[in-house]
Structure formats: C-alpha cells, structure tokens
Structure 1
Amino acid sequence: MDTPPLPFSARLRAATQGAHAAAEGQRYVTALVAGELDLAGYLDLVVQHHALYQALESAAEAMRSDPVAGGFVDDALTRLPALEADLTELAGPDWALRTAPHPATVAYADRIRAVAGTSPVRFIAHHYTRYLGDLSGGLYIGRAVARRYGLTDGSGVAFYAFDLITRPKAYKEAYRARLDALRLSPADEAALLDEVLLAYRHNTAVFAALARHVPDGPEITEAVA
C-alpha cells in the first residue's frame, strides 16, 4: 500500500526546520533568555519587531478580502498596539524619535512590503513565519524576558500576550489545517516555501545585528541574498 502524502503543513515544517533552528539558535536569543543583556538589549528587539509588524499588518489589511490569504488574517494576532505600548513603557512616549530599526530589519520589512501586499502565497509565508513563531517559541521567550528583566506585571512584554487566544496549541493546529486546505499549484507551494526560507534568513540577520548587545561580542552571519 502506498504511503499517503504528508499534509502541506507537515512538509513545510520539515523543509524549514533547519532554517528555523538557525534563527532560534542565534547568540542574541540565548543571551536574552538567559538574562545576560541589559534592558536596552531587549528594547532594541522591540524596536525591530515594531518595524516588521508595521509592514506585515499593513499587508494583512490589503489581504483581508483575498480568497486565498484572507482566511489567515485574524485580529486576534494583531501585535502593533501591544508593541507600541511596550515601546512607550520601555523608552517613553517619544520612543519614535529616539529609536530606529537596523539595516537588516529595514531589508526584512522592505521584502514584506514588496511581496506580501500583492502575492497571497508570499503573504501567507511571512504570516506563518512570524505568528506561528510567536505562538510557539515566542511565548517561552516572553515568559523568560518578563522574569529575567523584572517585567512580571506585563508592562513592557505585551507583545507576547495573546489575550484573545486562550489555547495556543489548538489555534496552531487550526492554522495548520487552513494551510492544508489551500488548493495551491506546485509553483505556488514552491513560492510559499521559498518565501518562508527567505523570511528565516532575514530573521537570522536581524538577530545577528542585535548581537552587538551580547557581552562576548557580535555574531557573524551571511548576508541575505
């Protein structure tokens, strides 16, 4: 008997496992979770997140009524208000005048703007990479950051609190079911996979830029092609 093909979500997860591990294994991430950075090192991550989610959530509005991508747009995932609250808490009400994204973040945000507002499958790729990561390792990072940096009242870590998603595991399972229900051509599947891999490379480059905050020096990574 022939083995049934793996669902698309399983194939996508398997094909990107190495890239995902490379991003999560960056020295900045381990130092942040271990509490080895000062608060400015954490604040810098929040600044980068704001630039990225500004681009992604703008694309989400453009895709809200799209027959392919619209089913992934969910206000329960929206992060911009939480990020702006975190920046106000950590850097003051004039944070926008005193902070700026790194060039690696600008390149990542520019890529999202270039493709996610017009290509449904590439929008899904960036949406999947960011939000499923937020609901997986991101929740662990949020708890660690709150504990390590004395933000246990929730102030400064609102980004990691999905108040409208009470069961993250069930939400992720439903999300993967939506991926599996997509009727994509082989070319569209390939484009989605390629864009997820590119998103992970961009994310790794952002973490490498943030490694300037790590006490033992910067981390070297290849530029995103």
Structure 2
Amino acid sequence: MEGSKTHSSESMPGDLSEALKEATKEVHEQAESTEFMKNFQRGQVSLQEFKMVLTSLYYIYSALEEEIERNKDHPAYIPVYFPAELHRKTALQEDLEYFYGPLWREEISCPESTQKYVNRLHYVGQHEPELLVAHAYTRYLGDLSGGQVLKKIAQKALHLPNTGEGLEFFTFEGVSNATKFKQLYRSRMNSIEMDPATKKRVLEEAKRAFLLNIQVFDELQKLVSQCHENGHPAQHKPELRTRGTSGAHEHGPAPVKEGEKTLMKHTGMLPSTPLVRWILVVSFLVTTVAVGLFAM
C-alpha cells in the first residue's frame, strides 16, 4: 500500500491547475452522465426556464463574489483577483432586470439546493479562505469555456436579440481573448504558494464544488419524480412575469406573445408545467456549466 501511495503522489501534477483538473475527473464524469445536458444542447429550453436558471446563478455568484471581496488581499487569492474581467453579479442583475423588470428582486427566491451551495461559499470565505480559489476556478473558467456554448444555444432557442440583451452573464467585456486569459489565470493560480496539505484541501474543495452542483441535480430530480407520482407540481413561486413593453402584469400572467408561442415549439419534449421544466433546465445547466471547466 505504501508503494501505491507513493505512485499516486508522484503522478499528481505539480501545477495546481492541472492537479485540479485531474482530481475532479470522476465528479465531472458523474455530472456528464445525464440526459439533461443533451436536452439543453438540442435547444429544449423555454424563456421561463432560463429566467429561473439566471436566478439560481445570481444567488451563487452573489455569495462567491462577496467572499472574494472579503479575501481579495489574502495571499492565497491575490494572484487570481480579476474583478473587472470575471465578476458576474452585476451582469446577472442586468439579465434579471431585462427579463423580470425593475422589481425583479421581489420576484425571485433561492431554492434549497442553491442555498446549500451559497452557505458553503460563505463558510469557506469566512473560515477557510485559502480554499476560495477552488470555487473561483471551477466557476469562472467554466463560464469562459462551456458557458460560451450555452450562450449560443440560449440565444438561438429563446430568439434573444443579437445585441446581447438577456445574455450579459455570458458576456465578458473585460476579456478580449478567452484562451489567453485562461492561460494567464492558470499561470497566476500556479504561482500561489501552497504547502502540500493545503493543496490537498484545495483539491478536495474543488471536488466538493462539483458535488454541490450534482446534489442540486439530485434534489431536483427527486422533485420531478414526486411531481409525476402525485400528478401535480409542487408550488415553488407564483408564475413569474415576462417583461413587456407595456410594463409588468401585476394581476395575473402576462399574455402570450408571438415570440413565446414560437418558444413553445422548442419545448414540446419537456413536461408542460413550468416548475418541472425549470427543474430539468436548472439540472442540466448546472451540469453543463460544471463541464465547461474541462473544455478549456
């Protein structure tokens, strides 16, 4: 067994970025082995579902970036502090206002599985900030990789404007060349001074970040099964409004516009209830974004 441990230690890449990629291969495969990702890649996503996905991401990135700002001067994070290039909270706020209107904060809520992720981010930032780099790496470099594929799919499936409205989350105005920036980011991360014990903890935290995403999927899949068994959806939030040119619809659902009728054609293979469709999309979007890390 000692020989096995020595071989494992010798085979572990010296660079932190490569070690992270190697350590998370298994959880990546778990996330990839779902049919939800394939559905999204086929363009089977509705406007309502996409709005709910953005909501979940908003809570995650709000927590992540709050803790990044708290620890921006920490030796284990200084080299990879790129707020102008990477931070997503402001972009998500713009997207949510575009879809929900100026009162979007009153329309959204944080699902339980997302809240668990949020809680972990706050714990790490406040008690183990040296692990924060694992969460930043898996999220931001995933956004710059697989997230760009999602942008094209969403824009086409939802008939969103070519000018980028509703897709600010996927738009990195501060990054002119994603490939070169990711190389810079990995290089900066590899420069962080870290003893072997801390490095091991960072690798474990990266796997935890993937597992948090998978747990979101598992919980949502259970909700889907329960809805099918009961014959009706569980109520999470009232039907959310679609932003229209004449203002928000305060007393009932917005009328279906021609563009939304077209969107329905892309969701024919999905369950008809908004909550169930949202559950599916959140699931495979989470897994797809996670997989983006490996497309670098």
Where on the TM-score scale, by shorter chain, does this alignment land: which range? 0.7 to 0.9
> Aligned residue for 1:158?
168
**Match for 1:150: what amino acid?**
H
The answer as to whether partners of 1:50 and 1:83 remain within 8 angstroms in 2 is: yes
Go from structure 1 to structure 2 and tell me whether the alpha carbon gap of 1:3 and 1:160 turns closer, same or farther (over 3 Å shift).
Answer: closer
* Letter in structure 2 aligned against 1:175: Y
The counterpart of 2:193, out of the listed 183, 193, 218, is 183
CA contact (8 A) 1:86 1:156 kept: yes
Aligned partner of 1:12 in structure 2 is 20
Hey, what's the Cα distance between the residues in 2 that align with 1:141 and 1:202? 20
> Of residues 155, 165, 168 in structure 1, which corresponds to 2:178?
168
Cα distance between partner residues in 1 of 2:100 and 2:89: 16
| Counterpart pick for 1:205 among 208, 215, 222 | 215
Q: Note the alpha carbon deviations across 1:171-203, whole angstroms, 9 max, x for none.
A: 111111122222211110111011111110111
Give the alignment partner of residue 215 of structure 1, picking from 227, 246, 270. 270
- 1:97 corresponding residue in structure 2: 106
CA distance in 2, matches of 1:32, 1:185: 41
Q: For the structure 1 residues 14 and 89, does the alpha-carbon distance in structure 2 shift closer, same or farther, using more than 3 Å as the test? A: same
Counterpart-to-counterpart distance in 1, 2:13 and 2:39? 40
Task: Find the residue that maps to 1:116 and give its secondary structure.
Answer: helix
Could you tell me which amino acid in structure 2 is paired with residue 37 of structure 1? Answer: V
CA 1:4–1:118: 2 relative to 1, 3 Å: closer
Of all paired residues, the percent bearing the same amino acid is 28
Q: Larger radius of gyration, structure 1 or 2?
A: 2
Q: CA deviation at 1:32?
A: 2.8
Equivalent runs, 1:29-44 vs 2, <5 Å: 29-44=37-52
Q: How far 1:47 moved relative to its partner? A: 0.3
Contact 2:47–2:158 at 8 Å: present in 1 too?
Answer: yes
> In the aligned structure 2, how far is the partner of 1:155 from the partner of 1:64?
30
* C-alpha distance 88-25 of structure 1, shift in aligned 2 (>3 A): farther
Change over 3 Å in CA distance of 1:3–1:73 after alignment to 2: closer
Q: Is the 8 A contact 1:32 1:42 kept in 2?
A: no
Confirm whether residue 136 of structure 1 aligns to residue 136 of structure 2. Answer: no
Answering whether residue 65 of structure 2 is matched by residue 57 of structure 1, we say: yes
Q: CA deviation at 1:43?
A: 0.9
Question: After superposition, what is the alpha-carbon deviation per residue over 1:79-131, rounded to whole angstroms, capped at 9, x for unaligned?
Answer: 11110110111122212111112110000001000112442321101111110
TM-score of the superposed pair, with normalisation by structure 2:
0.67
Q: In terms of mean alpha carbon deviation, does 164-173 or 209-218 score higher?
A: 209-218
Length, aligned pairs only: 219
Cα offsets for 1:58-90 (capped at 9, x unmatched): 001111111221221212111111101101111
Structure 2 residue identity aligned to 1:205: Q
Q: What is the one-letter code of the residue matched to 2:270? A: P
Structure 1 residue runs of 5 or longer lacking an equivalent are none
After superposition, the CA RMSD in angstroms is: 2.5
- Shift in Å, 1:169: 0.8
- 5+ residue gaps, structure 2, are 1-9, 225-266, 284-296
